[in-house]
Structure 1
Amino acid sequence: MEFCPTCGNMLQYELPHMGRPSRFFCPTCPYVCHIETKVKIKKKQRLVKKELEPVITEDDMKNASHTDATCPRCGHGRAAYVQFQTRSADEPATTFYTCLNETCRNKWRDD
């Protein structure tokens, strides 16, 4: 949406007609803004993917409690777990597990 710099009303769009380019015009005052048919890209900027910090770090899992939970990937019977309240207070906490098998280290969660 574009607005008239003179009176502040919303500009209306008019299609090109008989050699005249398309334009925005103000219905209440004589303001007219012609639209260029070609768009010029002045600068290309590469987006850099930001590195995400994990919510649960390896140090958190080293200090976590252990339980008899079966890993869905390797079937190991022990896992470290941490619980967080990820939803509203009347919902149960979410449990995040890490397999204690040194070759697996699979992470999963139980809602």
Structure 2
Amino acid sequence: MLYFCPTCTNLLIVEEGSQGMRFSCVTCAYIFPIKRCVSYKIYPKLKALDDVLGGAAAWKNVDAIDEPCPKCTHPRAYFMQVQTRSADEPMTVFYKCCSPTCGHRWKE
């Protein structure tokens, strides 16, 4: 967490004082004693792979190819290519099983 001086708006630094730890300003004489430890972590929720690829609508107008599903061995799968890495790397191919009961997704 960053705290700023209410007097001169400079960033406060943490230092050890005579009564313990405190925030102090290097520009003016402002001092704020630290009475308790305040810390917490917030982890952002990662997006699902479908959201990154364009959601459910991304699979509407894709082509099918003769690629067997590794889960149900259905002979055909939908596919799309997405550039997931830098431009000098090959595109990543994403597959979705054509079987309506399976719908397994994998990538190459």
Smaller-chain TM-score range?
A: 0.5 to 0.7
Please show how residues 21-100 of structure 1 align to structure 2 within 5 Å.
Answer: 22-25=21-24, 31-38=29-36, 54=51, 55-100=53-98
Q: CA deviation at 1:90?
A: 2.2
Q: TM-score, normalised by structure 2?
A: 0.61
Q: CA deviation at 1:99?
A: 0.1
> For each residue in 1:13-50, what CA deviation from the matched residue of structure 2 results, as whole angstroms up to 9, or x when unmatched?
1244xxx4543456786x2514141469xxxxxxxx69
Where structure 2 has 5 or more consecutive residues not aligned to the other structure, the ranges are 39-44
Aligned to 1:14: 16
Distance 1:25 1:59 in 2: 54
User: CA RMSD of the aligned region, Å?
Assistant: 3.6
Distance 1:95 1:109 in 2: 6
Cα pair 2:78 2:96 within 8 Å, conserved: yes
Cα pair 2:23 2:34 within 8 Å, conserved: no
The more displaced of 61-70 and 91-100 is 61-70
Q: TM-score, normalised by structure 1?
A: 0.59
Distance 1:104 1:27 in 2: 64
Q: CA deviation at 1:65?
A: 1.3
Gap change, CA 1:23 and 1:94, over 3 Å in 2: closer
Cα pair 1:64 1:82 within 8 Å, conserved: yes
Q: CA deviation at 1:9?
A: 8.9
Where structure 1 has 5 or more consecutive residues not aligned to the other structure, the ranges are 41-48
